[in-house]
Amino acid sequence: MLQNIKLVRDFFPFVLLKAQIKYNFFGLLYWALLFSILCNFFGANFGVPFLFYSPEYLGEVGLWSFALLGFSVGGFSMAFNVYSYIKLGPRFPFLVVVSTPFFRFCINNFFIPFAYITIYLVKMTAFQLTEELASKSNVLIYNISFLTGFLLFILFSILYFFPLRTNKDADDTFTESNPVSTITSKGIGQKWYNYFREKRTRPIYYIGKRFKLHKSRSVSHLEKNVVESVFSKTRINAFIFEILTIGAFISLSFFRNFSLFEVPAAMSILMLLTILSMVIGALNSWFHRWTYPLIFFVFLGMSAISSKTGLFRYTSYALGLNYAKEKIIEYSPENIRRNHKTSESAYPSKGNIIGMLENWKKKTGEEKPKLVILNTSGGGLRSALWTFTVLSNANEKLDAKLSQNLQMITGASGGMVGAAYFREIQLRKELKTIDGNTAIFKERLSKDLLNRLSFSASTSDLFMRYKKVVYYDKKYTQERGCEFEKELHQNLNDYLEHPLGYYKEYEKSSSIPLMIFSPTIVNDGRRLLISSQNLSFMIGNDKKTTYENIDFQSFFKNNEPNHMRFSSVLRANATFPMIMPMMALPTKPEIQLMDAGIRDNYGGKVSVDYLFALNEWIAENTSGVVILEIRDTKRIMSNEVYRELSLMDKLFLPFGNLLTNFTRTQDLDQEQLTKLCETSFNFPVDKVTFNLREDYNERISLSWHLTKREKQKIEAAFSSQENQTAFDKLKSLTAKQ
């Protein structure tokens, strides 16, 4: 028994695992991230684990998508082995007396990759059977495809390291079959060498030739320079291998315009981790302990340079806007106030909107119709599909009465994508240019938007941006924001491929409702109100005005605002942190736009500003206002349980609270706004709310990717008891008076 315990203690895979924990902590963080994704500890709310369990390639989850994912796992595993060998190999000098030391090291360093692959296959199988409703035969094919892809990369690595004899000593004087005693003994008294000779007296049992257990040989007779030469040669060859692998991954970005190279999002994540791991491994082979301080100070230097010059400043542009130097606008409180006052006096925006309302009233055919305003929440692709589902289903059941009474649309992120798509379809129906039915439209909208985005982020966006895109005869850098727009247009058959100004006359005639986007200006927290119409009337024009809102049309009047690509407007309104880049506008200093949900995830504040500005006309010409609220999450969900706070929770609660309770605080604000509306206006204000998630345990990922089961949940949600009650209320409120 004691002998077996000693054997386990000295078993090289376990010795290596101990050394990884002790000396390679930063290298293990990559694996910790991947394991936390598999176990739903990281990114579960955003659907990150689903990207691994159900990878999508060319619009399909199948043999090729899993093979590509397996290939990327193989790449990451080899990157881990290379990094570990460079870092830990010299601590086990017995490796120099075995044939193909790097290969032996990889075999014995299998524990973590093997554990990951095992857990992945188990959880992926369960997910495919329960969530994607795949057959057992298909799941078996997925498993085989994944393992084939994994082994394929390992084979490529073997072809590099072994036939070329890249990891053997130059003269091959010692191997597992050669006695160690033939090597002369010199330099044993040197400090570096004594560490290994004195600290490790017990033999190590390793997996060697023919995968049999071998006992390590003594290295006390070896010269220091002999040992070092073997590891030095391997480090050089490993460094070349790293450069080749990094170059191969990055070179894929040259073909990103071809759908064949739009790899699964999970593969992009692994490629990014592989590149980072190999870059750090390469640096560590040369700079050792100075690697991380060097990276830190280089980053600080790049940041300082970017603040003073345009170097290292990655900019995401709004396609269609004019960024010429002579068109750059001063962004300051004084200029905001001055610009607005000038615009309002020169252009009566309120009169224009009232004209639109008059046209809308005529369209309804009623003396005092109900004015319906849509507030739709953010929430990625789930909100886009849910908003479209509610609007299309309700409109069909109401015989187009909803689209007839709907006058203004506002909100955040994905919800506005779904609303814009619905509006476009209604316009095409009116113009009689439509092709397809509601089911087809839902299928198009629910397609993946993440693969191209994540691929661009992990390759060209990280290192270089060399391609340009032309729009309205202007050139812009092609980055992942552009890739998102391109994928959106492909999925929707170019239905939204218009400039912002395309909708101006259609909105004026009330053929379609007015849309108001409100992305957040990160620099100072203001909202930028983007529309094809001038919205200066919503800002105010007196000395007490704080100018919380900035009208896009008036402030950027010299930058061709109506040439801005409509998908760029959608992107600016849906720029979730870290997923898509902040959008820069032509100002000095350069302002950055992010998701409207940062300030107002439901559009309630914009709606209240709109109603207050048009209070008199609405009171005189309508029978009241219906705020149609489409939410991706119910404010108070069933089965939600509060728990006691741990020590870790208490340490990070002040920071985590900002994100955890972000939507909750906005919910409370929305309640207060509703009460304000009910007591402040001379007309009735009713709210009708449709909720997607009513049960806390019913998860639908906040992402730009949806699984088959999640799509089914979204479609079924409209028929829930609460939502049917909401529909009945909407029906009664919009019925002819």
The pLDDT value given to residue 122: 95
The pLDDT-based confidence of 140 (bands split at 50, 70, 90) is: very high
Is the pTM here over 0.85, yes or no? no
Residues 627, 610: Cα–Cα separation, whole Å: 12
Q: Taking Cα atoms as reference points, which of 438, 446, 425, 448 lies closest to residue 382?
A: 446
The pLDDT value given to residue 722: 94
Please say whether the beta carbons of 93 and 203 come within 8 A.
no
The pLDDT value given to residue 312: 65
Residues 737, 405: Cα–Cα separation, whole Å: 13
The pLDDT-based confidence of 72 (bands split at 50, 70, 90) is: very high
| Beta strand 592-594 pairing with 316-317 | unpaired
The pLDDT value given to residue 190: 40
Render pLDDT for 178-231 as a digit per residue (tens, 0 to 9).
433 333 333 333 443 444 444 455 788 888 877 788 888 776 666 666 666 666
The pLDDT-based confidence of 539 (bands split at 50, 70, 90) is: confident
Residues 614, 618: Cα–Cα separation, whole Å: 6
Angle formed by the axes of helices 101-108 and 224-251, nearest 10°: 70
Q: Is the pLDDT assigned to residue 620 strictly greater than 80?
A: yes
User: What is the mean pLDDT of the segment spanning 30-49?
Assistant: 86
**Which residues make Cβ contacts (< 8 Å) with residue 711, sequence separation at least 6?**
385, 446
Window from 272-286, 291-305, 688-702 with minimum mean pLDDT:
272-286
User: What is the mean pLDDT of the segment spanning 390-404?
Assistant: 94
Task: Pick the most confident of 596-610, 638-652, 663-677.
Answer: 596-610
650 phi/psi in degrees, rounded to 5: -65, -35
The pLDDT value given to residue 147: 96
Residues 480, 299: Cα–Cα separation, whole Å: 22
The pLDDT value given to residue 472: 87
Residues 58, 39: Cα–Cα separation, whole Å: 27
Select the more confidently predicted residue: 473 or 97: 473
* C-alpha separations of 19 from 43, 403, 503 in Å: 29, 66, 63
Residues 728, 725: Cα–Cα separation, whole Å: 5
For 302, which DSSP code?
H
User: What is the mean pLDDT of the segment spanning 148-165?
Assistant: 78
Residues 248, 156: Cα–Cα separation, whole Å: 13
The pLDDT value given to residue 498: 96
User: What is the mean pLDDT of the segment spanning 110-131?
Assistant: 93
* C-alpha separations of 721 from 142, 375, 410, 687 in Å: 38, 21, 26, 17
The pLDDT value given to residue 311: 67
Average per-residue pLDDT for the chain:
82
Q: Is the pLDDT assigned to residue 73 strictly greater than 80?
A: yes
Task: Pick the most confident of 461-475, 609-623, 683-697.
Answer: 609-623
**How many other CB atoms are found less than 10 A from the CB of residue 313?**
14
445 phi/psi in degrees, rounded to 5: -65, -30
Q: Taking Cα atoms as reference points, which of 672, 609, 666 lies closest to residue 633?
A: 666
**Which residues make Cβ contacts (< 8 Å) with residue 184, sequence separation at least 6?**
221, 223
Q: Taking Cα atoms as reference points, which of 527, 552, 607, 606 lies closest to residue 343?
A: 552
Q: Find tokens 């929440």 and name the residue.
A: 377
Please say whether the beta carbons of 263 and 49 come within 8 A.
no
The pLDDT-based confidence of 165 (bands split at 50, 70, 90) is: very low
Percent of the chain with pLDDT over 70: 81
Please say whether the beta carbons of 677 and 614 come within 8 A.
no
Select the more confidently predicted residue: 674 or 534: 534
The pLDDT value given to residue 391: 97
Window from 67-81, 215-229, 372-386, 589-603 with minimum mean pLDDT:
215-229
User: What is the mean pLDDT of the segment spanning 256-268?
Assistant: 77
Render pLDDT for 437-455 as a digit per residue (tens, 0 to 9).
889 999 999 998 887 777 7
User: What is the mean pLDDT of the segment spanning 582-590?
Assistant: 93
Select the more confidently predicted residue: 109 or 4: 109
The pLDDT value given to residue 212: 84
The pLDDT value given to residue 182: 33
Residues 73, 146: Cα–Cα separation, whole Å: 9
User: What is the mean pLDDT of the segment spanning 161-168?
Assistant: 50
